[in-house]
Protein backbone atom coordinates (compact mmCIF):
# COMPACT_ATOMS: atom_id res chain seq x y z
CA UNK A 1 0.00 0.00 0.00
CA UNK A 2 1.12 3.53 -0.73
CA UNK A 3 1.95 5.68 2.26
CA UNK A 4 0.27 8.97 3.06
CA UNK A 5 3.35 10.83 1.82
CA UNK A 6 2.46 9.93 -1.75
CA UNK A 7 -0.98 11.58 -1.53
CA UNK A 8 -1.45 14.18 -4.28
CA UNK A 9 -3.19 16.35 -1.69
CA UNK A 10 -0.26 16.68 0.67
CA UNK A 11 0.89 20.27 0.96
CA UNK A 12 4.59 20.50 0.02
CA UNK A 13 7.12 21.13 2.76
CA UNK A 14 9.07 23.77 0.85
CA UNK A 15 6.65 26.65 1.33
CA UNK A 16 5.53 26.56 -2.30
CA UNK A 17 1.83 25.87 -1.68
CA UNK A 18 -0.64 27.84 -3.82
CA UNK A 19 -4.39 27.81 -3.16
CA UNK A 20 -4.99 28.42 -6.87
CA UNK A 21 -3.40 25.03 -7.64
CA UNK A 22 -5.43 23.13 -5.02
CA UNK A 23 -8.53 21.43 -6.49
CA UNK A 24 -11.90 21.83 -4.74
CA UNK A 25 -13.54 18.90 -6.55
CA UNK A 26 -12.59 15.37 -7.59
CA UNK A 27 -10.59 14.85 -10.78
CA UNK A 28 -12.45 13.42 -13.79
CA UNK A 29 -10.96 9.93 -13.28
CA UNK A 30 -11.86 9.77 -9.55
CA UNK A 31 -13.95 6.88 -8.17
CA UNK A 32 -17.74 7.12 -8.45
CA UNK A 33 -19.89 8.07 -5.45
CA UNK A 34 -20.72 4.40 -4.80
CA UNK A 35 -17.07 3.41 -5.02
CA UNK A 36 -16.18 6.19 -2.56
CA UNK A 37 -18.79 4.88 -0.10
CA UNK A 38 -17.58 1.29 -0.38
CA UNK A 39 -14.00 2.37 0.08
CA UNK A 40 -14.94 4.51 3.09
CA UNK A 41 -16.62 1.47 4.69
CA UNK A 42 -13.41 -0.53 4.27
CA UNK A 43 -11.31 2.32 5.64
CA UNK A 44 -13.56 2.67 8.68
CA UNK A 45 -13.10 -1.02 9.51
CA UNK A 46 -9.37 -0.69 9.06
CA UNK A 47 -9.29 2.40 11.28
CA UNK A 48 -11.11 0.51 14.01
CA UNK A 49 -8.40 -2.21 13.92
CA UNK A 50 -5.61 0.36 13.88
CA UNK A 51 -7.12 2.26 16.79
CA UNK A 52 -7.05 -0.91 18.91
CA UNK A 53 -3.37 -1.46 18.30
CA UNK A 54 -2.60 2.26 18.76
CA UNK A 55 -4.24 1.99 22.18
CA UNK A 56 -2.52 -1.26 23.15
CA UNK A 57 0.86 -0.09 21.89
CA UNK A 58 0.49 3.08 24.01
CA UNK A 59 3.49 4.96 22.64
CA UNK A 60 1.88 7.28 20.09
CA UNK A 61 -1.18 9.48 20.01
CA UNK A 62 -2.80 10.70 16.81
CA UNK A 63 -3.88 14.32 16.49
CA UNK A 64 -6.18 15.14 13.57
CA UNK A 65 -6.63 18.86 12.93
CA UNK A 66 -9.57 20.06 10.82
CA UNK A 67 -9.79 23.57 9.43
CA UNK A 68 -12.17 24.87 6.79
CA UNK A 69 -14.44 27.65 5.68
CA UNK A 70 -18.02 27.39 6.98
CA UNK A 71 -20.16 24.63 5.46
CA UNK A 72 -17.15 22.77 4.06
CA UNK A 73 -18.23 19.71 6.05
CA UNK A 74 -15.91 19.39 9.04
CA UNK A 75 -18.53 17.94 11.35
CA UNK A 76 -19.90 15.47 8.81
CA UNK A 77 -16.43 14.29 7.86
CA UNK A 78 -15.39 13.75 11.47
CA UNK A 79 -18.62 11.84 12.13
CA UNK A 80 -18.35 9.72 8.98
CA UNK A 81 -14.74 8.71 9.60
CA UNK A 82 -14.87 8.05 13.33
CA UNK A 83 -18.28 6.40 13.52
CA UNK A 84 -16.80 2.92 13.64
CA UNK A 85 -14.09 3.65 16.20
CA UNK A 86 -14.39 2.78 19.89
CA UNK A 87 -15.56 6.06 21.51
CA UNK A 88 -13.33 5.37 24.52
CA UNK A 89 -10.29 5.63 22.27
CA UNK A 90 -11.00 8.97 20.67
CA UNK A 91 -11.99 12.49 21.63
CA UNK A 92 -13.28 15.39 19.56
CA UNK A 93 -12.68 18.96 20.69
CA UNK A 94 -14.18 22.07 19.07
CA UNK A 95 -12.64 25.50 19.39
CA UNK A 96 -14.86 28.57 19.03
CA UNK A 97 -14.23 32.20 20.01
CA UNK A 98 -11.82 32.15 22.96
CA UNK A 99 -13.13 32.73 26.49
CA UNK A 100 -11.68 35.43 28.75
CA UNK A 101 -9.75 32.75 30.63
CA UNK A 102 -8.27 31.52 27.36
CA UNK A 103 -7.40 35.07 26.30
CA UNK A 104 -5.43 35.42 29.54
CA UNK A 105 -2.92 32.84 28.25
CA UNK A 106 -0.66 32.44 25.26
CA UNK A 107 -2.38 31.40 22.05
CA UNK A 108 -1.39 27.74 22.24
CA UNK A 109 -2.59 27.20 25.80
CA UNK A 110 -6.17 26.19 25.16
CA UNK A 111 -5.35 23.56 22.55
CA UNK A 112 -2.43 22.14 24.56
CA UNK A 113 -4.86 21.32 27.36
CA UNK A 114 -6.95 19.23 24.97
CA UNK A 115 -4.21 17.16 23.33
CA UNK A 116 -4.90 13.42 23.13
CA UNK A 117 -3.29 11.11 25.64
CA UNK A 118 -0.90 8.45 24.47
CA UNK A 119 -2.77 5.63 22.75
CA UNK A 120 -5.68 7.84 21.70
CA UNK A 121 -7.00 9.66 18.68
CA UNK A 122 -7.71 13.35 19.25
CA UNK A 123 -9.66 15.42 16.76
CA UNK A 124 -9.52 19.21 16.72
CA UNK A 125 -12.56 20.74 15.04
CA UNK A 126 -10.84 24.10 14.47
CA UNK A 127 -7.62 24.55 16.36
CA UNK A 128 -4.66 26.80 17.18
CA UNK A 129 -4.66 27.60 13.44
CA UNK A 130 -7.61 29.96 13.98
CA UNK A 131 -4.93 32.24 15.43
CA UNK A 132 -3.34 32.67 11.99
CA UNK A 133 -6.59 32.41 9.99
CA UNK A 134 -9.63 34.21 11.44
CA UNK A 135 -7.36 36.42 13.56
CA UNK A 136 -5.25 37.26 10.53
CA UNK A 137 -8.36 38.21 8.56
CA UNK A 138 -9.66 40.20 11.55
CA UNK A 139 -6.53 41.59 13.24
CA UNK A 140 -8.76 43.63 15.56
CA UNK A 141 -9.22 40.39 17.57
CA UNK A 142 -5.62 40.84 18.70
CA UNK A 143 -6.71 43.74 20.89
CA UNK A 144 -8.49 41.29 23.19
CA UNK A 145 -5.30 39.26 23.50
CA UNK A 146 -3.44 42.21 25.11
CA UNK A 147 -0.06 41.20 23.73
CA UNK A 148 2.98 43.34 24.56
CA UNK A 149 3.82 43.59 20.86
CA UNK A 150 1.39 42.63 18.13
CA UNK A 151 2.08 45.28 15.56
CA UNK A 152 5.62 44.29 14.70
CA UNK A 153 6.95 43.44 11.25
CA UNK A 154 7.36 39.75 11.76
CA UNK A 155 4.32 39.10 13.97
CA UNK A 156 2.66 36.45 11.78
CA UNK A 157 5.97 34.87 10.88
CA UNK A 158 6.63 34.48 14.59
CA UNK A 159 3.26 32.83 15.09
CA UNK A 160 4.05 30.32 12.33
CA UNK A 161 7.41 29.69 13.96
CA UNK A 162 5.75 29.09 17.34
CA UNK A 163 3.35 26.62 15.73
CA UNK A 164 6.11 24.77 13.86
CA UNK A 165 8.26 24.51 17.00
CA UNK A 166 5.32 23.42 19.13
CA UNK A 167 4.26 20.73 16.67
CA UNK A 168 7.81 19.50 16.30
CA UNK A 169 8.09 19.16 20.05
CA UNK A 170 4.83 17.17 20.15
CA UNK A 171 5.96 14.94 17.29
CA UNK A 172 9.25 14.17 19.04
CA UNK A 173 7.25 13.07 22.05
CA UNK A 174 4.98 10.67 20.21
CA UNK A 175 2.08 12.79 18.93
CA UNK A 176 1.51 12.03 15.28
CA UNK A 177 -0.03 15.14 13.73
CA UNK A 178 -2.08 15.20 10.54
CA UNK A 179 -3.82 18.37 9.43
CA UNK A 180 -6.69 18.70 6.98
CA UNK A 181 -7.91 21.75 5.18
CA UNK A 182 -11.30 20.89 3.69
CA UNK A 183 -11.10 23.03 0.60
CA UNK A 184 -14.61 24.00 -0.50
CA UNK A 185 -15.19 26.41 -3.39
CA UNK A 186 -16.95 29.72 -2.87
CA UNK A 187 -19.76 28.63 -5.20
CA UNK A 188 -20.33 25.33 -3.39
CA UNK A 189 -20.44 27.17 -0.06
CA UNK A 190 -23.12 29.46 -1.52
CA UNK A 191 -25.20 26.45 -2.60
CA UNK A 192 -24.85 24.80 0.82
CA UNK A 193 -25.95 27.98 2.61
CA UNK A 194 -28.97 28.18 0.28
CA UNK A 195 -29.87 24.58 1.03
CA UNK A 196 -29.70 25.38 4.75
CA UNK A 197 -32.30 28.10 4.12
CA UNK A 198 -34.47 25.69 2.14
CA UNK A 199 -34.64 22.92 4.73
CA UNK A 200 -36.23 23.59 8.14
CA UNK A 201 -34.13 20.84 9.77
CA UNK A 202 -31.01 22.69 8.61
CA UNK A 203 -32.10 26.16 9.78
CA UNK A 204 -30.24 25.77 13.06
CA UNK A 205 -27.00 25.51 11.09
CA UNK A 206 -27.62 28.78 9.31
CA UNK A 207 -25.97 31.88 10.65
CA UNK A 208 -26.18 35.34 9.17
CA UNK A 209 -22.61 35.87 10.38
CA UNK A 210 -21.43 33.09 8.05
CA UNK A 211 -22.88 34.94 5.04
CA UNK A 212 -21.15 38.14 6.15
CA UNK A 213 -17.87 36.27 6.61
CA UNK A 214 -18.05 35.17 2.95
CA UNK A 215 -17.20 38.72 1.97
CA UNK A 216 -13.70 38.10 3.31
CA UNK A 217 -13.22 35.02 1.12
CA UNK A 218 -10.09 36.28 -0.66
CA UNK A 219 -8.47 37.36 2.59
CA UNK A 220 -9.19 33.90 4.03
CA UNK A 221 -7.66 32.22 1.00
CA UNK A 222 -4.51 34.31 1.38
CA UNK A 223 -4.37 33.44 5.08
CA UNK A 224 -4.81 29.71 4.33
CA UNK A 225 -2.17 29.82 1.63
CA UNK A 226 0.40 31.45 3.86
CA UNK A 227 -0.40 29.37 6.94
CA UNK A 228 -0.34 26.04 5.13
CA UNK A 229 2.84 26.90 3.25
CA UNK A 230 4.55 27.95 6.49
CA UNK A 231 3.44 25.03 8.64
CA UNK A 232 3.24 21.94 6.43
CA UNK A 233 6.32 20.07 7.52
CA UNK A 234 7.39 16.40 7.62
CA UNK A 235 6.48 16.13 11.32
CA UNK A 236 3.04 17.73 10.86
CA UNK A 237 1.88 17.68 7.23
CA UNK A 238 -1.16 19.48 5.88
CA UNK A 239 -3.47 17.90 3.33
CA UNK A 240 -5.63 20.18 1.16
CA UNK A 241 -8.65 17.97 0.53
CA UNK A 242 -11.13 18.78 -2.26
CA UNK A 243 -14.41 19.37 -0.39
CA UNK A 244 -17.05 20.08 -3.04
CA UNK A 245 -18.05 16.40 -3.17
CA UNK A 246 -18.69 15.13 0.35
CA UNK A 247 -18.32 11.40 -0.29
CA UNK A 248 -15.04 11.89 -2.09
CA UNK A 249 -13.74 14.24 0.64
CA UNK A 250 -14.54 11.75 3.40
CA UNK A 251 -12.97 8.84 1.56
CA UNK A 252 -9.76 10.73 0.76
CA UNK A 253 -9.45 12.02 4.33
CA UNK A 254 -9.99 8.55 5.82
CA UNK A 255 -7.42 7.18 3.38
CA UNK A 256 -4.76 9.62 4.60
CA UNK A 257 -5.50 8.76 8.24
CA UNK A 258 -5.32 5.01 7.66
CA UNK A 259 -2.08 5.29 5.67
CA UNK A 260 -0.55 7.45 8.38
CA UNK A 261 -1.36 4.90 11.08
CA UNK A 262 -0.14 2.07 8.87
CA UNK A 263 3.23 3.77 8.55
CA UNK A 264 3.77 3.65 12.35
CA UNK A 265 5.60 0.76 14.01
CA UNK A 266 2.53 -0.21 16.06
CA UNK A 267 2.40 -3.59 17.77
CA UNK A 268 0.50 -5.34 20.51
CA UNK A 269 2.66 -5.50 23.66
CA UNK A 270 4.62 -8.72 24.07
CA UNK A 271 4.26 -10.18 27.54
CA UNK A 272 7.37 -11.08 29.47
CA UNK A 273 8.22 -14.77 29.79
CA UNK A 274 7.53 -14.92 33.54
CA UNK A 275 4.04 -13.46 33.07
CA UNK A 276 3.28 -15.77 30.16
CA UNK A 277 4.60 -18.77 32.07
CA UNK A 278 1.76 -18.29 34.54
CA UNK A 279 -0.97 -18.52 31.88
CA UNK A 280 -1.16 -22.32 32.27
CA UNK A 281 -1.63 -21.96 35.99
CA UNK A 282 -4.32 -19.28 35.49
CA UNK A 283 -6.13 -21.52 33.01
CA UNK A 284 -6.20 -24.38 35.56
CA UNK A 285 -7.57 -22.06 38.26
CA UNK A 286 -10.30 -20.71 35.99
CA UNK A 287 -11.27 -24.13 34.62
CA UNK A 288 -11.59 -25.55 38.15
CA UNK A 289 -13.62 -22.54 39.34
CA UNK A 290 -17.12 -23.65 38.25
P1 LIG B 1 -20.23 25.12 12.22
O2 LIG B 1 -19.29 24.95 11.07
O3 LIG B 1 -21.05 23.93 12.51
O4 LIG B 1 -21.01 26.41 12.15
P5 LIG B 1 -18.26 26.35 13.74
O6 LIG B 1 -16.97 25.67 14.05
O7 LIG B 1 -18.25 27.31 12.60
O8 LIG B 1 -19.32 25.27 13.50
P9 LIG B 1 -19.38 28.46 15.21
O10 LIG B 1 -19.83 28.62 16.62
O11 LIG B 1 -20.31 28.74 14.10
O12 LIG B 1 -18.77 27.00 15.06
O13 LIG B 1 -18.11 29.37 14.96
C14 LIG B 1 -16.99 29.38 15.73
C15 LIG B 1 -16.28 30.65 15.36
O16 LIG B 1 -15.23 30.85 16.26
C17 LIG B 1 -15.67 30.60 13.96
O18 LIG B 1 -16.09 31.68 13.22
C19 LIG B 1 -14.18 30.68 14.25
O20 LIG B 1 -13.48 31.37 13.26
C21 LIG B 1 -14.16 31.41 15.57
N22 LIG B 1 -12.90 31.21 16.31
C23 LIG B 1 -12.32 30.04 16.61
N24 LIG B 1 -11.14 30.24 17.22
C25 LIG B 1 -10.97 31.56 17.31
C26 LIG B 1 -9.94 32.41 17.83
N27 LIG B 1 -8.85 31.89 18.38
N28 LIG B 1 -10.13 33.72 17.76
C29 LIG B 1 -11.23 34.25 17.21
N30 LIG B 1 -12.23 33.52 16.69
C31 LIG B 1 -12.11 32.19 16.74
MG1 LIG C 1 -19.98 28.33 11.93
151-188 per-position pLDDT tens digit: 777 999 999 999 999 999 999 999 999 999 999 999 99
Question: Would you say the CB of residue 143 lies under 6 angstroms from ligand 1?
Answer: no
Distance (Å) from CA 95 to ligand 1 centroid = 7
Give the Cα separation of 269 and 280 in Å (integer): 19
If one residue of 130, 140, 162, 216 were mutated to test the ligand 1 pocket, choosing by the most ligand atoms within 8 A of its CB, it would be: 130
pLDDT at 19: 98
pLDDT at 6: 84
Distance (Å) from CA 210 to ligand 2 centroid = 6
Give the global pTM: 0.95
CATH top class, domain 4-288: alpha beta
pLDDT at 49: 97
Exposure of 28 in the CB half-sphere (CA atoms within 13 A): 0
Other beta carbons within 10 Å of 206: 17
Best-predicted range by mean pLDDT among 142-146, 234-238, 271-275?
234-238
Question: Would you say the CB of residue 102 lies under 6 angstroms from ligand 1?
Answer: no
Say yes or no to pLDDT of 2 above 70. Answer: no
Quick: pLDDT tens for 209-237: 999 999 999 999 999 999 999 999 999 99
Question: Would you say the CB of residue 98 lies under 6 angstroms from ligand 1?
Answer: yes
Question: Would you say the CB of residue 135 lies under 6 angstroms from ligand 1?
Answer: yes
Q: In angstroms, how far is CA 108 from the centroid of its own chain?
A: 16
Quick: pLDDT tens for 59-81: 999 999 999 999 999 999 999 99
Integer-rounded Cα Rg, in Å, for the chain is 21
Question: What is the layout of strands, in order, in the sheet containing 238-242?
Answer: 90-94, 121-125, 61-68, 175-183, 238-242
Question: Would you say the CB of residue 132 lies under 6 angstroms from ligand 1?
Answer: no
Question: Would you say the CB of residue 142 lies under 6 angstroms from ligand 1?
Answer: no
pLDDT at 1: 47
Distance (Å) from CA 111 to ligand 2 centroid = 19
- The residue-averaged pLDDT of 104-108 equals 97
Amino acid sequence: MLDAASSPFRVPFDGGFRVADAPTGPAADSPSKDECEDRLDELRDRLDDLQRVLYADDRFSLLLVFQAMDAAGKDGTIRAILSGVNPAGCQVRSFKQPSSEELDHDFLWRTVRQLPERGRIGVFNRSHYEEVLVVRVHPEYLTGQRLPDSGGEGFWQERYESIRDHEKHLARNGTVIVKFWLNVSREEQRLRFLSRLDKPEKHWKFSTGDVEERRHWDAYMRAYEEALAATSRPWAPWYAIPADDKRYMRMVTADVIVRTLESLPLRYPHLEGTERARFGEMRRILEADT
